[in-house]
Amino acid sequence: MEDVNKLEAFQAKIDREEKIEPKDWMPADYRKHLIRQISQHAHSEVVGMQPEGQWISRAPSLRAKVVLLAKVQDEAGHGLYLYSAAESLSISRDELLEQLHTEKAKYSSIFNYPTLTWADMGAVGWLVDGAAIVNQVSLQRTSYGPYSRGMVRICKEESFHQRQGYEVISDMALGSPEQKQMAQDALNRMWWPSLMMFGPHDADSPNTGNATKWKIKRETNDELRQKFIDKTVQQAEVIGLTIPDPDLKWNEERGHYDFGKIDWSELKEVIHGCGPCNKQRLNHHRKAHEEGAWVREAANAYAQKQRDKKKVA
Ligand code: FAQ
């Protein structure tokens, strides 16, 4: 009976648009759902540093290098905000990383594609950050306080990322015929994987039901995907690039673009470890984590020393 009352009070709080905070009572499934989503979001930010990190040493100018470096550092920061939000739900950072390394936890499918040319740095910022913002703007209103507040800050930085990418792709698209071809090729390769970032169709999305009831998700996978398409098509037109979808067409009645069929078998394969770079990305993360063990040990030893000092004083 007590739990039924608590559950009703919890749902009423959500329905009143009040945030749930770490010390509030919450059903175990809400906690589990949030840990899953927030940690996967954090892993995506951190693994997402790899495809861009590879280009820092190959950026075509000092300005481009500095800007890309700043962007990749921001992504590490986003990972940290998100890991902290997940930790506020009583799970340790070690457990979260263990789940990533044992492939129990996922990260966004998009980061399992290679970045082959400098134009891909444009496509990642323009499309991948562009898609991430559409999703994250919506998540600013998520019901869990620490996640919502983290999103507000992340969105501010993410808009800078999207502009960085659009600048790179615009410069290429409006440059020499060879550069324009590179920009078009990057768009051709990244377009469909970017649409897959929003997850399966609503009808095939097992987590959407609870996520909507608990206001973790404020818009569904399909609604967000449509928003992203509608705003990105015009951006491609401005710089003279063609979206690689022959079925893309403005639908006056719906007030949205109609678009072609997404290859869901490709998303399934990538999610289940068989994308072009899955093994490479995870192995790199595991290796970096092992090599960083001494830093964690040193930081813990230092923190312990400070605690001991306080005790004596
Ligand atoms: N990739 O029932 P649903 C970024 C999984 S941040 C991999 O629809 P849900 C910044 C899903 O987890 C990008 N797995 O799931 C940046 C679930 O499996 P599970 C990350 C996917 O949670 C830019 C299963 O399929 N953003 O890019 C994908 O309701 C540039 C069934 O799916 C976030 O994480 C996928 N694409 O909706 C960094 C935002 N789609 O967990 C560097 C927060 C689905 O039951 C460079 N997350 N799955 O084993 C979300 O909004 C949601 O979790 C969705 C999925 C929309 C991703």
Q: What mean pLDDT is predicted for residues 293-313?
A: 94
CA nearest ligand 1 atom 5, residue? 199
Share the mean pLDDT of the chain: 97
- With a cut of 90, say whether residue 3 has pLDDT above it: no
CA nearest ligand 1 atom 33, residue? 41
> Which of 153-157, 177-181, 185-189 has the weakest average pLDDT?
153-157
Pocket flag, ligand 1, residue 207 (CB < 6 Å): yes
Closest ligand 1 atom to residue 198 Cα is 56
d(CA 106, CA 88) in angstroms, rounded, equals 20
Give residue 45's pLDDT. 98
Pocket flag, ligand 1, residue 165 (CB < 6 Å): no
CB atoms within 10 A of CB 76: 13
CA nearest ligand 1 atom 11, residue? 199
Distance from the CA of 12 to the center of ligand 1, in angstroms? Answer: 27
Q: What mean pLDDT is predicted for residues 95-99?
A: 98
Distance from the CA of 108 to the center of ligand 1, in angstroms? Answer: 5
- From 41, 108, 210, mutation site for ligand 1 pocket: most ligand atoms within 8 A of C-beta: 108
CB atoms within 10 A of CB 211: 21
CA nearest ligand 1 atom 37, residue? 199
Distance from the CA of 147 to the center of ligand 1, in angstroms? Answer: 15
- With a cut of 80, say whether residue 134 has pLDDT above it: yes
d(CA 191, CA 21) in angstroms, rounded, equals 37
Q: What mean pLDDT is predicted for residues 237-244?
A: 98
- With a cut of 90, say whether residue 164 has pLDDT above it: yes
| Residue-wise pLDDT tens digits, 258-288 | 999 999 999 999 999 999 999 999 999 999 9
- With a cut of 90, say whether residue 171 has pLDDT above it: yes
CB atoms within 10 A of CB 174: 14
d(CA 76, CA 288) in angstroms, rounded, equals 13
Pocket flag, ligand 1, residue 140 (CB < 6 Å): no
Pocket flag, ligand 1, residue 44 (CB < 6 Å): yes
- With a cut of 90, say whether residue 312 has pLDDT above it: no
Confidence band for 84, pLDDT divided at 50, 70 and 90: very high
Helices (runs of H) and strands (runs of E) counted in the chain: 14, 2
| Residue-wise pLDDT tens digits, 189-229 | 999 999 999 999 999 999 999 999 999 999 999 999 999 99
| Residue-wise pLDDT tens digits, 39-71 | 999 999 999 999 999 999 999 999 999 999 999
CA nearest ligand 1 atom 53, residue? 37
pTM as predicted: 0.96
Distance from the CA of 2 to the center of ligand 1, in angstroms? Answer: 34
Distance from the CA of 275 to the center of ligand 1, in angstroms? Answer: 15
- With a cut of 80, say whether residue 1 has pLDDT above it: no
Across 92-113, b (16+ Cβ under 10 Å) vs e yields: eeeebbebbeeeebbbbbbbbb
Which residues face 257 on adjacent strands?
A: 250
- With a cut of 90, say whether residue 4 has pLDDT above it: no
d(CA 169, CA 120) in angstroms, rounded, equals 8
- With a cut of 70, say whether residue 2 has pLDDT above it: no
Pocket flag, ligand 1, residue 201 (CB < 6 Å): no
Distance from the CA of 125 to the center of ligand 1, in angstroms? Answer: 18
| Residue-wise pLDDT tens digits, 100-132 | 999 999 999 999 999 999 999 999 999 999 999
